[in-house]
Every structure is written in structure tokens, then in C-alpha cells.
Structure 1
Amino acid sequence: MSTPDAKAHWEQHYGERERVWSGRVNVRLAEIASALTPGRALDLGCGEGADAVWLAERGWEVVAVDISETALQRARSAAEARGVSERIDFQQHDLAESFPQGSFDLASAQFFHSKLPLDRPRILGLAAQAIRPGGTLLIVDHSGPPPWASKLDHEHYFPSADEVVQGLNLPEAQWEQARTSSVEREVARPDGETVTWIDNVIVLRRR
């Protein structure tokens, strides 16, 4: 089983700094979810909780999942500070081994990448199965490595948006492919210079 290695990896990742992420909601989630009626949402790989807090502030009931207890502790603190902790159920899962129960109106996987081997199609497929009729599966991926990286310190394949959709193998009679696109985003390099990074955005709606 890979669980101990995965947990150790992500605990080390979050333990290296007091804060890893910006604390701001992912821009594509805000863009897509703003047009949806709040219901029950699933945040896969919630990290330090910025997306879950943003959703809760807008009326969503959120199940926020991460493998790292350090990340979840920070996410709980953020939710308490913003007064929305009662609307978020933070759960620790190694998604290679377990998956949250229940059904959802929105499942969000924002940059759900890993340096370690991860069966993404299976996990995203489980998220799709948990979507209620009329609900939305939102996947946002990096289309490639950081523009400033000459090479990665690990092997990583970045699937295209079409490959992600094909890998899910969802029945067309039950699912609408509402959006599959590549979007440019301005990001700051480690030296502070602004560069363009391309994201793949996939929006699938259950009929």
C-alpha cells in the first residue's frame, strides 16, 4: 500500500512552510461556481482551505478532503477565522484508498496533480459518480510544468483536457461536456517576474 508514503510526502510538503498557498480562491472555481445555485460541494485536495471557505461563504455546504492533517488544520483555522466552519466538513482521506460518502451538486478538482503515482482517472471517476443529476464536475489542470522550470525533479505527464475527458469514459447520454478549453493565467516566477501559464479547464454537467 502506498498510503504511508503519500501521507509522509504531503506532510513534508506542508511542513516546509507556514503557508504553502496564497489563501485566495482558485480563479476558475470562482468563475464557474459563481453561476451555480449553492448546494453540496466536494473539494478534492483542499489544501489550506481557500476554495472551501470561498464556497461556504457563498452558501455551499462543503466536504473538503485532503491527505495532509497539517493542511487540514490550517484549513480549519481559516474557516473558523472567516466564520464558516459549521458549513465545512473537513475530512482526511488518501483518495487512493478511501473516498468521502454522499452525493454532491459540485465536485471540484483544482490542480489535482501529484509527484507520486496517482490513479487520477479512477478518483475523478468516483467524483463523477457522486454528482447528482444537474450537478457539475469541474477539473482544472496545469497544461504543463511551470514556464520557468527547465526540467522537473520527477517524471510527470500532463494530460490534455480531451485526454482527461476520454479517461473518465462518461456516458454521453448522462453527461454534457459544457466546457473544455485552455486558458492563460498570469503568475509570478520565483524571481518575481510575471509569466503566462496555461490551464486546462473541464466542466462536465450531469444531465
Structure 2
Amino acid sequence: MTHPVFDKAFWDARYAEADAVWSGNPNPVLVAEAADLPPGSALDIGSGEGADAIWLAARGWTVTGLDVSDVALQRAAAHAGAAGVRITWRQADLTLDAPVGTGFDLVTAQFMHLPSEQRRALHRRLAAAVAPGGTLLVVGHHPSDLGTIPRPPLPDLFFTASDVAAELNPDQWEVLCEEARPRPVVHPDSGLTVTIHDTVLRARRR
């Protein structure tokens, strides 16, 4: 099956369809994994409507939010203004090898799903953007979800924490969390509560 094209046009159209695409709440894994980190500089990849970046900024982080969609970034900037926090917003298409920067104390990518070759290249670039002593946090939909809840029938888009960890040089990285983390959701068809899993990789650059 051919991979869909999740490009700028796709995401601009997706965000333009509704006043809000996401809940407006920060991703729970980010909250769980970053709550105890001392604030520094953070890069939020695929920042969307800004909830994660705003949560970080409110906790004292200096945040750069990066997304492919201008529509999402405009909405995120409005939300940040309403929340009274300052965030640097950048538009970039990371499938085209756009630069991400370096020297961040936290690089977080929540549910960035790309074909495996592009994804591995992106994860290597994200790892290179982390400062010594900094944290890389990558979260995604686990492959096991394909048998539990409706997901695009494209197994290549999904990945495990071990897949991400395999790209990290153990001489340079300490893996702190490498798991498929369960959480309950309501199945959109049956209305029943089912358990899905988030891929969670948290690592510290030595």
C-alpha cells in the first residue's frame, strides 16, 4: 500500500477543517516524563496547536515549537498569547531535512509517524539536537494498536521504543525508559473501553 503524503498541504487542510483538532491538553507522557526535569531549552517537534509547548513554557522552559502547518502555528501562537507565555514558533517540513537546531536540553516528538526510512533519519537528527546531559523523548502509537483500535493499515508507520533505542549509540546515550505504556481508550466503533499502548523512549545524552 502506498504511504499517504502527510505534507504541508495535508496538515494545513486538516487544521483548517475545525477550530480545534486536538484536546488542548498536553500529552500525558510528556507530563509524566518531563515534570521533574529542570527547565532549560526545549524543542517540541510537531507542535500542532501548541498544548505541549505551552505546558513546558508555563513551567519555565524556553521553548521552540516546530510544525509543518502554518495554520497550526497561527493557532498555537494565539493559544500561547492567551496563556501568557512566550514561545518561538517555526515552520519546517522535517521530511525535507529542514534543520532542527542543536543544543536543546529537551527534544520531544509526540506521535510523529513517518515511513520507517524517513523516521529513522529524523530520529537521528533529533538525537543530534540534544545537548550533553539533555533528554530525548519520543512517543508514538505502538504497532500492537493495529489489532486493537482503528489505525491506518500501514505497519511501516508504527514503531517500538526498541526501534528508536537501536539508533542511539550506547556510548553517548543512557536509555531511561523503553516501553510500550498501556492506557485505556474508548473504541470508536463498539463504545467499549480497550487498552492501547504508547511507544515511549526517554534517553539522556551522556
Q: Give deviations 1:135-180, integer Å, cap 9, x for gaps.
A: 000011111346332x63x5342222112221x2x22111101110
CA distance in 2, matches of 1:48, 1:175: 31
Q: 2:170 aligns with which of 159, 169, 172?
A: 172
Q: Secondary structure at the residue paired with 1:22?
A: coil
1:96 and 1:5 map into 2 onto residues whose CA distance is 9
Farther off after superposition, 98-107 or 69-78: 98-107
Aligned 8 A contact 1:96 1:118 in 2: no
Report the counterpart of residue 58 of structure 2 in structure 1.
Answer: 57
Q: Is residue 108–residue 138 contact of structure 1 (8 Å, CA) maintained in 2?
A: yes
Matched, 1:128 2:155: no
Q: Is the 8 A contact 2:149 2:196 kept in 1?
A: no
Aligned-residue CA RMSD (Å)? 2.0
Q: CA deviation at 1:27?
A: 0.6
Q: C-alpha separation between the residues in 2 aligned to 1:39 and 1:182?
A: 27
1:118, distance to aligned residue in structure 2 (A): 6.7
Alignment of 1:1-207 (within 5 A): 6-84=7-85, 86=86, 88-97=87-96, 98-114=98-114, 119-144=118-143, 145=145, 147-149=148-150, 152=152, 155-157=154-156, 158-166=158-166, 168=167, 170-190=168-188, 193-207=192-206
Letter in 1 for 2:10: H
Identity of aligned residues (%): 43
In terms of mean alpha carbon deviation, does 180-189 or 52-61 score higher? 180-189
2: CA distance between counterparts of 1:69 and 1:205?
A: 31
Size of the aligned set, in residue pairs, is 197
Q: Report the Cα offset of residue 197 of structure 1.
A: 1.2
Give the AA of the match of 1:29.
L
CA distance in 2, matches of 1:112, 1:172: 23
**What is the distance in 1 between the residues matched to 2:99 and 2:162?**
25
Q: Distance in 2 between matches of 1:83 and 1:5?
A: 31
Given the two structures, how large is their TM-score scaled by the length of structure 1? 0.88
**How far, CA to CA, are the matches of 1:66 and 1:193 in structure 2?**
34
Q: Can you list the C-alpha shifts for 1:47-71, whole angstroms capped at 9, x where unaligned?
A: 1100000000000000100000111
Pair 102,164 (structure 1): closer, same or farther in 2 beyond 3 Å:
closer
Aligned residue identity for 2:11: W
8 Å CA contact 2:160–2:199 kept in 1: the answer is yes
| Matched letter for residue 161 of structure 2 | A
